[in-house]
Amino acid sequence: MTLPFEEAALYSAAPEKFIMSATLEMRRRSLEDPEGFWGEVAEGIDWITRWEQVLDSSNPPFYRWFPGAQLNTCYNALDRHVEKRGNQAALIYDSAVLHQRRTYTYRQLRDEVALFAGALASHGVTKGDRVLLYMPMIPEAVIAMLACARLGAVHSVVFGGFAPQELATRIDDAEPKAIVSASCGIEGVRVIEYKPLLDQAIDLSKHKPRTCIIRQRESCECDLTEGRDVSWQDAVASAKPHGCVPVMATDPLYILYTSGTTGVPKGVVRDNGGHAVALQWTMQSVYGVQPGEVYWAASDVGWVVGHSYIVYGPLLNGNTTILYEGKPVGTPDAGAFWRVIADHGVNCMFTAPTAFRAIKKEDPNGSLLANYDMSTLRSLFLAGERSDPDTLEWAEGKLGVPVIDHWWQTETGWAICANCLGIEHLPVKHGSPTLAVPGWDVQVVDEASHQVPAGTTGALVVKLPLPPGSLPTLWNDDDRFVSSYMTEFPGYYKTADAGYIDEEGYVYVMSRTDDIINVAGHRLSTGGMEEVIAAHADVAECAVMGVADELKGEIPLGFLVLNAGVDRPYHDIVSEVIQMVRTEIGPVAAFKTAIVVQRLPKTRSGKILRGTMKKIADRTEWRMPATIDDPVILDEITERLQAIGYA
């Protein structure tokens, strides 16, 4: 038996505890012979020209998968399935807010996508151009993404909960030739007009798109700006279907902006070839889903989960995918997910733990389950934040199917660690997303990049090269790619998560090592919020940190120090900074609470004691830091937090 890397050490440390699994065996092969392994996996994709080599490692840390190969991602997601599965549902749109459903077969979806690709082309969009999408959860979002892929254009989807300023930053970075949007989104019972937000963003941005194509929705039609805007309906009425344009495997498919440690988001780039290879493989190996089956990721197309598992993964694999417009609760009740599963015969579901916490809060006994036939459901996958054991056990108990926590990031595009049900069902350990998936050489290291023993917490890193489908670079910013991910631990990708690996190779992801927080499964930067708040005229200094929240996992909490002489009521200033974050970052930040304090607690060298403040707010045990410059300030903070129900 040859064991890979840390497993060998783990095996010799505790052979009686060691599990020799098919996952580990496959992972060993993928790491010892990545070219052989991924070369075989790549046979699952239809290529126009085959690769010159599987992996080009000549310019680390810039690795390129399948250089020289040509393909079209849209062809692989739609056209190639039409002959065999032309009448199978490819996409089911289920709107719990409008009580509407629409099913697109593979043939219909291919035709709609070809037509919209024709519409984009008639507005001058060609291979390599960027197209920005600011869309609610409607089929046109999926159609627009695939139409870009069909043309070899690069889409960049921006989540609807972001404010115009955030949208403007992305417009300036991606410099899109066209923007595709809709007149409105529907959040529960509220209609959110998108068009004014889009107009504001374009006013704010330096780069101006040539065209905006706006899907008019019945719930709220909007005015169009003459000379720039055209309605979706008019754009397709005059369009001719467009064929699939061959692109290089290494050409970008999309840019997805994600929070970095400053207010400036990172444009994660995804290539065409490696992405198609990896995602199609994960459908079968990670999720255990066969072509023809029904797969549902209850997320949003604005997030990576939506890209990978509402759109590309299921379609590349010939599945039926569900596009759900609604919430887990309130549309109309906590049985909404069960209704979708029963109505569409969902076999495998994916969502964030926060959605299950919301359901559990409303219907703790799961009594609404009795109203639905859940017999098709085989598994539930959770990601986006750590699955707390309570929620996981509740879901296991109520659904009676394996509930799998898996760990990944926008950057990786697919799971780094999972219980790969398509390979084998390993024993579940609550609190762990199980083993590293084939392709990922996950290690835990100390500050000097030395591996630490099993059970010891450190930085979670991945030995290079990363597998296909993970980010090859950041858009227009190779330097930031290197400095953010590749510099601190040479030879490794820094995940910016901390955790440990136990003696059996199970990985535990415990916290971020930077200022990123996870609010209802949405990734946000507290540094970005601090930048906004610091601009308030009365604020001298501020700190924002993520504190525990029963529903959303974490929520941001702000601490404000005011300029000397400010005598306005504190609550006015707090309301203003809350509004500033909402206006500049968006409602998705869920920044609703802040307190005014005399000073921020700091070490004698001036570092803010964020860890201690967070512990006080979270009501976890804390000790007076030996290096604190002024211990009294912590009493004031504790008092203020108690007054608003924290600490």
Positions in the binding site for ligand COA (CB under 6 A) = 160-161, 185, 187, 192, 299-300, 303, 305, 327-329, 351-352, 354-355, 358, 384, 520-522, 587-588, 590
Q: How many residues bind ligand AMP (CB under 6 A)?
A: 19
Closest to ligand AMP by CB, 497 or 618: 497
**Interface residues for ligand AMP in 451-510 (CB under 6 A)?**
495, 497, 509
Confirm or reject binding of residue 143 to ligand AMP (CB under 6 A).
Answer: no
Pair of tokens at residue 68: 């020289």
Give the up-direction half-sphere exposure of residue 342: CA atoms within 13 A in the CB hemisphere.
13
Q: Which stretch binds ligand AMP (CB under 6 A): 151-159, 169-177, 330-338, 406-414?
A: 406-414
CB atoms near residue 288 (< 10 Å): 21
For the bound state, the minimum distance from the C-beta of residue 261 to ligand COA, rounded and expressed in Å, comes to: 20
Q: State in angstroms the smallest separation of the CB of 521 from ligand AMP.
A: 7
In the complex, the smallest distance separating the C-beta of residue 647 from ligand AMP, rounded to whole angstroms, is 25
Mark 374-393 with x for binding to ligand AMP (rule: CB under 6 A) and - for no binding: ---------xxxx-------
Say which entry of ligand AMP, ligand COA, none residue 523 contacts (CB below 5 to 8 A, set by partner kind). ligand AMP
Contacts 24+ apart (CB under 8 A), 489-494: 489/445, 489/449, 489/459, 489/461, 490/449, 491/449, 491/463, 491/464, 492/443, 492/445, 492/449, 492/461, 492/462, 492/463, 492/464, 493/61, 493/461, 493/462, 493/463, 493/464, 493/466, 494/459, 494/461
Does residue 80 bind ligand AMP (CB under 6 A)? no
State which residue, 45 or 519, has the beta carbon closest to ligand AMP: 519
Question: Any contact of residue 407 with ligand AMP (CB under 6 A)?
Answer: yes
Spell out the alpha helix ranges (H) of 303-407: 304-306, 313-316, 336-344, 353-362, 389-399
- Which runs of consecutive H residues, i.e. helices, occur in 220-352? 232-237, 273-285, 304-306, 313-316, 336-344
Considering only residues 163 through 222, tell me which ones interact with ligand AMP, judged by CB under 6 A: none
Least distance between ligand COA and beta carbon 406 (Å): 11
Residue 382's H or E segment, with its range, is strand 379-382
Determine the straight-line distance between the first and last CA of the chain, rounded to whole angstroms.
53
The listed partner (ligand COA, ligand AMP, none) that binds 588, CB under 5 to 8 Å by sort, is: ligand COA
The whole-angstrom separation of Cα 460 and Cα 451 is 10
Determine the distance from the C-alpha atom of residue 99 to the mean position of all C-alpha atoms in its chain, rounded to a whole number.
Answer: 27
Q: Does 613 bind ligand AMP (CB under 6 A)?
A: no
**Position 45: which residue type?**
I
Instruction: Rule CB under 6 A: say whether 518 interacts with ligand AMP.
Output: yes
70 contact partners, CB below 8 Å, separation of at least 6: 47, 48, 49, 246, 247, 248, 249
When CB distances are held under 5 to 8 angstroms depending on the partner's kind, the choice from ligand COA, ligand AMP, none that residue 518 binds is: ligand AMP
Q: State the Cα–Cα distance between residues 632 and 483, nearest whole angstrom.
A: 39
Q: Name which position in 209, 328, 433, 505 contacts ligand AMP (CB under 6 A).
A: 433
Minimum CB–partner distance for residue 324 and ligand COA (Å):
10
Dig out the tokens for 117 from the structure: 């690709």
Pairwise CA distance, residues 353 & 553, whole Å: 9
Which of 29, 429, 512, 599 is close enough to bind ligand AMP by CB under 6 A? Answer: 512
Binding site partner of 151, from ligand COA, ligand AMP, none, Cβ cut-off 5-8 A by kind: none
Cα(18)–Cα(24) distance, integer angstroms: 11
Q: Where are the alpha helices (DSSP H) in 206-344?
A: 232-237, 273-285, 304-306, 313-316, 336-344
**DSSP run (H or E) holding 549:** strand 539-549
Binding mask 270-309 for ligand AMP (x = CB under 6 A): ----------------------------------x-----
Instruction: Give yes or no for residue 523 binding ligand AMP (CB under 6 A).
Output: yes
What backbone torsions phi and psi does residue 334 show, to the nearest 5 degrees?
-75, 5
Nearer to ligand COA (CB atom), residue 548 or residue 628: 548
Output the smallest distance, CB 391 to ligand COA, in A: 12
325 lies in the binding site for ligand AMP (CB under 6 A): no
What is the nearest approach in angstroms of ligand COA to the Cβ of residue 519?
Answer: 6
Task: Report if residue 258 touches ligand AMP, rule: CB under 6 A.
Answer: yes
From 558, 551, 531, select the one nearest 617 (Cα to Cα).
558
For residue 353, the minimal CB distance to ligand COA (Å) is 8
587 binds, among ligand COA, ligand AMP, none (CB under 5 to 8 A by kind): ligand COA
Q: Give SS3 for 497.
A: strand
Q: How far is the CB of 356 from ligand AMP (least distance, A)?
A: 13
Q: Quote the CA–CA distance of 151 and 118 in Å, as a whole number.
A: 9
Interface residue list for ligand AMP (CB under 6 A): 258, 304, 383-386, 405-410, 433, 495, 497, 509, 512, 518, 523
